[in-house]
Amino acid sequence: MVVDDQSHDHTGDIARQLAAQHPKGAHLTVETAQDRPAGWIGKMWAVHTGLQVAEKHWPDARYRYLTDADIEHSRGNLRELVAKAESEQLHLVSLMVQLHCKNAWERLLIPAFVYFFQQLYPFPKINDPDSHVAGAAGGCMLVRTHMLKQAGGIEAIRGEIIDDCALGKAMKRRGKIWVGLTNSEHSIRPYAGLAGIWERVTRTAYTQLQYSPLLLLGSIIGLALVYLVPPLVTLTWPVHENTLAGGLAVSAWLTMLYTFQPTLRAYALAPAFGLVLPVAALLYLIMTVDSAWQHWQGIGRQWKGRTGAGCTDRALAAVQASWLPGTTMPEGNPVLQPATIREHDMPKVNRRA
């Protein structure tokens, strides 16, 4: 099933044409989503729409398979996911697909993105039932139907920008989950140079830091100390002539290079690409700061030409606590209700922007 969330690039029309002309087109259902309600992220509304239709057609299905439209799947992958879920009694099985990595900017930044993602969400910790770390990879997810319902369905994470990891957390509260890497499933959507990757990262980076200036500062210091200082001290060794500092810096850089090798092999890149990891780290540091800056400039973000991405109750609460004293949130649980800003508070928003 393909859900057309009123896309402007005619994806829905192409899918309908495919369903009409392909010999097995009867297997494809194309559903058009209604207007997105307030408080819903676009992708979550599309997934919710698809699950509602699936519930009508296949109410007894034990699993739901959630995937992005730009993923190229290998034959047999779904069977393997179901087998793993059944044999290990997993509530959620997901695979981090191989991202598009062909042009120069992609080769510089995409392997580093995967490398940093696994540091934020260590897969062994996610897969450990005794660990509180949870996450998932949204491009390829198999979820048990009844456990998804018990978790509140997609509505429970309707405002989450990092929706896959939010779903992983919700499912791990109820049982075991598993995530892994694969080179058999591929994202076929290329990034539009540096700008395309920049937009992807700035959309979620400050959200990952929970809109916290302290976490932002800690991330800046951490990235600088771990990934920027070692090569800087190494390259300036002839200037400072400090043997201890130079030796420690070289050791740190070599360790960085060594730990990056598995990711480089997964993307069929030469080991020497590890030498430019500090450059990628610097760019990601700047992107993270830019993500915070764009958040401070206004509420919500733009994604695929649509405004309001990230305009969640939690984001509004964080903004209100930091620079909009006197604005109001609805009574009760703010995660379950749409947030509001009173009309006479809008001048504060405009002045801050």
Q: pTM of whole model > 0.85?
A: no
> Is residue 6 one of the residues assigned to a domain?
no
pLDDT for position 303: 52
Question: Last residue of some domain: 151, 166, 191?
Answer: 191
Domain encompassing residue 276: 205-306
Question: Can you tell me the distance from the alpha carbon of 109 to that of 257, in angstroms, rounded to the nearest whole number?
Answer: 15
Judge contact between 53 and 1, C-beta under 8 A: yes
pLDDT for position 329: 40
And the tokens for 291? 């993500």
Judge contact between 161 and 207, C-beta under 8 A: yes
Question: Can you tell me the distance from the alpha carbon of 256 to that of 276, in angstroms, rounded to the nearest whole number?
Answer: 10
> Is residue 15 one of the residues assigned to a domain?
no
235, 133: one domain: no
75, 170: one domain: yes
Question: Last residue of some domain: 125, 157, 191?
Answer: 191
DSSP 79-115: HHHHHHHHHHT-SEEEEEEEPP--SHHHHHHHHHHHH
Judge contact between 30 and 16, C-beta under 8 A: yes
75, 176: one domain: yes
pLDDT for position 312: 47
Q: How many domains does the chain have?
A: 3
Judge contact between 330 and 339, C-beta under 8 A: yes
- Please tell me the chain's helix, strand, coil percentages from 3-state DSSP, rounded to the nearest 5: 55, 10, 30
> Is residue 352 one of the residues assigned to a domain?
yes
> Is residue 25 one of the residues assigned to a domain?
no
CA 87 to chain centre: 28
pLDDT for position 307: 52
And the tokens for 7? 């896309």
Q: Which residues contact 312 (CB under 8 A, 6 or more apart)?
A: 39, 41, 159, 160, 161, 339
pLDDT for position 336: 36
118, 159: one domain: yes
172, 244: one domain: no
pLDDT for position 7: 78
| Local structure of 269: helix, strand or coil | coil
The length of the chain, given as a count of residues: 353
Question: Can you tell me the distance from the alpha carbon of 271 to that of 258, in angstroms, rounded to the nearest whole number?
Answer: 9
> Is residue 269 one of the residues assigned to a domain?
yes
pLDDT for position 137: 94
Question: Can you tell me the distance from the alpha carbon of 41 to that of 25, in angstroms, rounded to the nearest whole number?
Answer: 30
Split the chain (353 residues) into runs of 10 and give each run's mean pLDDT.
Answer: 84 91 92 90 91 93 93 93 97 96 96 95 96 94 96 93 94 96 93 92 91 95 96 96 96 96 95 95 96 80 52 49 43 38 45 46
| Local structure of 132: helix, strand or coil | coil
Question: Last residue of some domain: 134, 157, 191?
Answer: 191
Q: Which amino acid appears at position 261 of this protein?
A: Q
Q: In this structure, what are the phi and psi dihedrals at residue 304, rounded to the nearest 5 degrees? A: 55, 40
